[in-house]
Structure 1
Amino acid sequence: MNILIAGATGNTGARLTRQLDEAGHHPIAMIRDGSDTSVLPQGVETRTADLTDLADNVCEGADVVIFAAGSGGDTSEEMTDKVDRDGAKALIDRAKAQGVQRFVMLSSIGAGDPDPDSDLAHYLKAKHAADEHLKASGLDYVILRPVALTEEDGNRNLTLGDDVDPEGKAHRGDVAAVLARAVDNDMLRNKVVELQSN
């Protein structure tokens, strides 16, 4: 499958791009001008785009779109809104308009019901808005909500769903593996899935 990945050069996105490539898919890494593409597998197709100003045809030729981008923990609330909320919504709209089959969203634990007192309240509200926009879009979707991320690869020993400990950890390699599985797994279709690594 042709799979467009927003955030392909990020810590999770780079792992995801490699895993999709190794699985025989055709990943298309969405990159910004100046992105460090050295983290991507050799020969992977790239597509230059900016989530704050997306071209109408950004999803052209993609069977699946995965949103694994993020504004980062140190950005302003304005940039969080531009990338994590408005950028995600714009990508969903373009995916819908271009006949994409499925949209996979990397969200976050707590985005379903953001705690206004949380340090991450603004980020979670932005993620919540994007998730709700995706659910209402009519696209096939998978929304993945991992607990706190670590930089480890993990061993694919996972807990999914209601038994997830909100205080647990999710290794980025494990998260990437579930995102990769979500592109064509019917068990995950139109589901919101919480995840932690064991």
Structure 2
Amino acid sequence: MDVLVIGANGTTGRLTVDLLAKRNKYYARGMVRKEDQFEEIEKLGGLPVKGDLEGDFEQAFDEVDAVIFAAGSGGHTGPDKTKAVDEEGAIKAIDLAVQKGISKFVMLSAIGAGDLTSMDIPEDMEDYYLAKQAADRHLEKSGLNYTIVRPGLLTDNSGTGKIRAAEVLENRNGEITRSDVAKVLVAALEHENLNNRAVEILNDEEDLMTALNRV
């Protein structure tokens, strides 16, 4: 399966490319904005492809079976940048996936993005959450086979392989490592019980695969 990772130069994106490249069943392609970022993707075992979410990236979808959208402004850029990447860029990627007949689209979103009224969102994160929600809703209506992964607060700690997962978590207090998020993004490619569903995730005590199977 040829898998395109959009946002491959970000921390979660790099971890995702690395995981894919280590598994014989996947051929990892990493979309980055600049050619000087190619070497990093190659070191991870992926094929670098050039594409800019704020410009043209249609060629990155050539010969691709599945897409993992791991790009994001991080919520700390200005509202224009956030909208351009997290909403408009994501929507362009979804529309391209429809045109190209992509078999699976995995979206990295944010915990609570399914219902913003259920979250006490800091004012400086409102644009980010609105953009994520708009992209998620576009994906849900696209007709694509999708999974939306909604992690809580991200950390750079070592992965534990232990999480709690649900379409809507009752307790959203906590955090999750980027390493474990990457594992969920890759697992979503073939977990049929996650098809056309969203899943919220945080680190906890249950084995990652077991937790996903219980969603």
TM-score, reference length from structure 2: 0.86
User: Cα RMSD between the aligned structures?
Assistant: 1.7
| CA drift at 1:118 | 2.5
Counterpart residue number, 2:19: 19
Alignment check: 8 A CA contact 1:14 1:40 kept: yes
Counterpart residue number, 1:146: 151
Alignment check: 8 A CA contact 1:9 1:35 kept: no
Q: How many residues align?
A: 198
Give the gaps of 5 or more residues in structure 1: none
| CA drift at 1:128 | 0.2
**Residue 53 of structure 2 corresponds to residue 51 of structure 1:** yes
Counterpart residue number, 1:28: 29
SS at match of 1:58: helix
SS at match of 1:144: strand
- CA 1:170 to 1:118, structure 2 compared with 1: closer, same or farther past 3 Å? same
Farther off after superposition, 150-159 or 173-182: 150-159
**Residue 90 of structure 2 corresponds to residue 88 of structure 1:** yes
Q: Distance in 1 between matches of 2:188 and 2:149?
A: 9
Instruction: Return the match for 1:192 from 198, 207, 210.
Output: 198
Q: Distance in 2 between matches of 1:118 and 1:34?
A: 36
SS at match of 2:158: coil
Counterpart residue number, 2:122: 118
**Residue 172 of structure 2 corresponds to residue 175 of structure 1:** no
Instruction: Return the match for 1:73 from 58, 72, 75.
Output: 75
Alignment check: 8 A CA contact 1:57 1:94 kept: no
| CA drift at 1:172 | 0.5
CA deviations 1:28-47 (Å, max 9, x no partner) are 00010155445435242111
What letter corresponds to residue 179 of structure 1 in structure 2?
A: L
Farther off after superposition, 157-166 or 130-139: 157-166
Give the gaps of 5 or more residues in structure 2: 205-215
**Residue 159 of structure 2 corresponds to residue 157 of structure 1:** no
Alignment check: 8 A CA contact 2:18 2:46 kept: no
Counterpart residue number, 1:4: 4
Alignment check: 8 A CA contact 1:154 1:197 kept: no
- CA 1:21 to 1:53, structure 2 compared with 1: closer, same or farther past 3 Å? same
Farther off after superposition, 107-116 or 172-181: 107-116
Farther off after superposition, 36-45 or 179-188: 36-45
SS at match of 1:142: strand
SS at match of 1:57: helix
- CA 1:87 to 1:48, structure 2 compared with 1: closer, same or farther past 3 Å? same
Percentage of matched positions with identical amino acids: 37
